[in-house]
């Protein structure tokens, strides 16, 4: 394969085989991000965060609630404490393993720890109380389906749980938490957080998110739900009756869709994968970047993306700086900040870093993400990522 040099970064992505709903948005937002994620040399960019840790804990515990593995006789604060401790300890160890070169802060010291725990406790209690709620509602109102999202609480939704006993039922294998769906022909698969069935027998897909603005749902959330809907339709031949997001406060928001939307998204994704793979097979490998405050904010590959550093603006509010390393009159190494280009931060002493690659003698530029600036002073965080380069 032809080696592609992106400044001083060699990029050799492999072709995309499987499409996953949780990762599709990058195919629409930034082709270069996809290329980095398809190159094993950049697997260090796939490490988790405390945000992903709390998300995994929530998913694992709600799955056990839905399967009635816990709280079998009703909600109990004592049982929740035990379940929470077990889950958070397991996920924290995974995070530490991913960041084996760092000292990861103890999870109880993390900002918003108590809030995450309290929200999940309330969510579990509400789920237990709603377990035997009679069916009330079928599908979102026609007015909602025409374009206005409806907001309802979980315990007022017409739904029922699968008890897992009716294995002969055509629908039973698709009901419940963490259901794997796939389209073998197009090589698309994903695991749905929760599938329930409505009064009219149609399926209701629920996707857990930590939070969202119901008046401004991210397009990535919508596309992920649509693809889950398509996969369920592919598996069952039945159009879903409802697609919803659920945040950690228990808020439910329905997403408008039609069967045509589901199929059109699938077709678009398959085409984008084909075009990406064609670039690799042809040796062209000119992957298009699309830097923006939104696309780059949580990108794991900021540190090696020259397009990001060229576009970075102080108004983006990102915790990133880059600059040339020079020496002052006392021989100390100072960072002369060049990105963000409009930064008012004065030169900073070069701190002791844990770079992704060892520094070579000719490396006179430094890049850092995940830093803090307080009173014009650079502060490193436990998850600060840095690299050195011979060129800006």
In a domain, 288, yes or no: no
Residues 372 and 381: beta-carbon distance below 8 Å: yes
Residues 209 and 321 in one domain: no
In a domain, 121, yes or no: yes
Domain stop point among 76, 101, 130 = 130
pLDDT band at 139 (very low <50, low <70, confident <90, very high): low
pLDDT at 136 over 80: no
pLDDT, mean of residues 145-165: 37
Residues 263 and 200 in one domain: yes
The predicted pLDDT at position 342 comes to 76
The predicted pLDDT at position 392 comes to 53
pLDDT, mean of residues 99-128: 95
Measured distance CA(21)–CA(230) in Å, rounded: 10
Domain stop point among 81, 97, 130 = 130
pLDDT band at 184 (very low <50, low <70, confident <90, very high): very high
pLDDT at 133 over 60: no
Residues 13 and 72 in one domain: yes
Mind listing the pLDDT tens digit for each residue in 276-303?
Answer: 999 999 987 789 999 999 999 989 999 9
The predicted pLDDT at position 269 comes to 96
Residues 160 and 175: beta-carbon distance below 8 Å: no
In a domain, 276, yes or no: no
The predicted pLDDT at position 385 comes to 95
Measured distance CA(132)–CA(127) in Å, rounded: 10
Count of structural domains, the chain: 3
Write out the chain in H/E/C secondary structure: CCCEEECCEEECCCCCCCECHHHCHHHHHCHHHHHHHCCHHHHHHHCCCHHHHHHHHHHHHHHHHHCCCCCCCCCCHHHHHHHHHHHHHHHHHHHHHHCCCCCCCCHHHCCCHHHHHHHHHHHHHHHHHHCCCCCCCCCCCHHHHCCCCCEEEHHHCCCECCCCCCCCCCCHHHCEEEEEEEECCCCEEEEEEEEEECCCCCEEEEEECCCCCCCCCCHHHHHHHHHHHHHHHHHHCCCCCEEEEECCCCEEEECCCCHHHHHHHHHHHHHHHHHHHHHHHHCCCCCCCCCCHHHHHCCCCHHHCHHHHHHCCHHHCCCEEEEEEEECCCCCEEEEEEECCCCCCCCEECCCCCECCCCCCCCCEEEEECCEEECCEEECCCCCEEEEECCC
In a domain, 281, yes or no: no
pLDDT, mean of residues 226-239: 95
pLDDT, mean of residues 90-114: 96
The predicted pLDDT at position 215 comes to 81
Mind listing the pLDDT tens digit for each residue in 318-367?
Answer: 999 999 999 998 999 999 998 998 777 888 899 999 898 888 877 899 99
Decide which of 158 and 52 is more confident: 52
Domain stop point among 253, 268, 283 = 268
Nearest to 370 by CA among 289, 300, 305: 300
pLDDT band at 47 (very low <50, low <70, confident <90, very high): very high
Phi-psi region of 190 (alpha: psi -120 to 50; beta: other; left: phi over 0): beta
In a domain, 278, yes or no: no
Measured distance CA(190)–CA(24) in Å, rounded: 11
The size of the chain, in residues, is 392
In a domain, 240, yes or no: yes
Domain of residue 11, residue span:
4-130
The predicted pLDDT at position 376 comes to 82
Mind listing the pLDDT tens digit for each residue in 236-280?
Answer: 999 999 999 999 888 899 999 999 999 999 999 999 999 999 999
**Mean pLDDT for the chain overall:** 86
In a domain, 137, yes or no: no
Measured distance CA(295)–CA(305) in Å, rounded: 13
The predicted pLDDT at position 377 comes to 87
The predicted pLDDT at position 373 comes to 86
Mind listing the pLDDT tens digit for each residue in 1-43?
Answer: 333 334 557 789 999 999 999 889 889 999 999 999 999 999 9
Residues 345 and 242 in one domain: no
pLDDT at 167 over 60: no
Residues 204 and 171: beta-carbon distance below 8 Å: no
Residues 154 and 252 in one domain: yes
The predicted pLDDT at position 168 comes to 33
Q: Phi first, then psi: give them for residue 340, nearest 5 degrees.
A: -65, 145
Residues 94 and 146 in one domain: no
Comparing 38-42, 73-77, 149-153, 207-211, which segment has the lowest mean pLDDT? 149-153
Nearest to 186 by CA among 298, 84, 263, 83: 263
In a domain, 330, yes or no: yes
Residues 69 and 101 in one domain: yes
């Amino acid at each position: 394969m032809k080696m592609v040099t992106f400044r001083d970064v060699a990029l050799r992505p492999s072709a995309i085989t499987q499409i996953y709903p949780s990762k599709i948005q990058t195919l629409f937002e930034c082709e270069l991000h996809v290329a980095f994620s398809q190159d094993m040399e950049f697997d260090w960019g796939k490490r988790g965060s405390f945000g992903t840790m709390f998300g995994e804990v929530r998913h694992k515990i709600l799955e056990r609630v839905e399967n009635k593995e816990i709280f079998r006789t009703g909600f109990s604060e004592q049982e929740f404490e035990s379940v929470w401790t077990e889950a958070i300890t397991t996920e924290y160890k995974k995070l530490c393993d991913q960041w084996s070169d760092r000292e990861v802060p103890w999870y109880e010291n993390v900002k918003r720890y108590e809030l995450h725990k309290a929200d999940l406790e309330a969510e579990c209690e509400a789920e237990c109380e709603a377990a035997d709620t009679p069916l009330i509602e079928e599908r979102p109102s026609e007015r909602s389906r025409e374009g206005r999202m409806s907001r309802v609480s979980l315990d007022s939704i017409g739904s029922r749980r699968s008890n897992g006993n009716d294995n002969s039922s055509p629908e039973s294998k698709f009901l419940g938490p963490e259901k794997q769906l796939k389209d073998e022909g197009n090589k698309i698969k994903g695991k749905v957080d929760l599938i329930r069935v409505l009064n009219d027998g149609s399926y209701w897909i629920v996707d857990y998110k930590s939070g969202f603005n119901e008046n401004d749902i991210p397009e990535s959330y919508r596309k992920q739900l649509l693809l889950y809907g398509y996969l369920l339709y592919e598996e069952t031949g039945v159009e879903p009756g409802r697609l919803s997001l659920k945040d950690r406060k228990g808020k439910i928001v329905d997403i408008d869709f039609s069967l045509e939307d589901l199929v059109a998204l699938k077709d678009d994704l398959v085409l984008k994968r084909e075009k990406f793979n064609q670039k690799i097979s042809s040796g062209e490998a000119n992957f298009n970047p699309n830097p923006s405050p939104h696309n780059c904010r949580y990108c794991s590959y900021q540190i090696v993306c020259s397009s990001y550093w060229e576009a970075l603006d102080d108004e983006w509010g990102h915790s990133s700086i880059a600059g040339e390393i020079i020496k002052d009159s006392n021989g100390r190494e100072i960072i002369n900040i060049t990105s963000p280009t409009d930064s008012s931060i004065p030169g900073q002493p070069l701190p002791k870093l844990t770079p992704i690659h060892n520094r070579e003698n000719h490396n006179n530029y430094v890049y850092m993400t995940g830093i803090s600036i307080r009173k014009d002073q650079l502060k490193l965080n436990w998850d600060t990522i840095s690299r050195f380069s011979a060129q800006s």
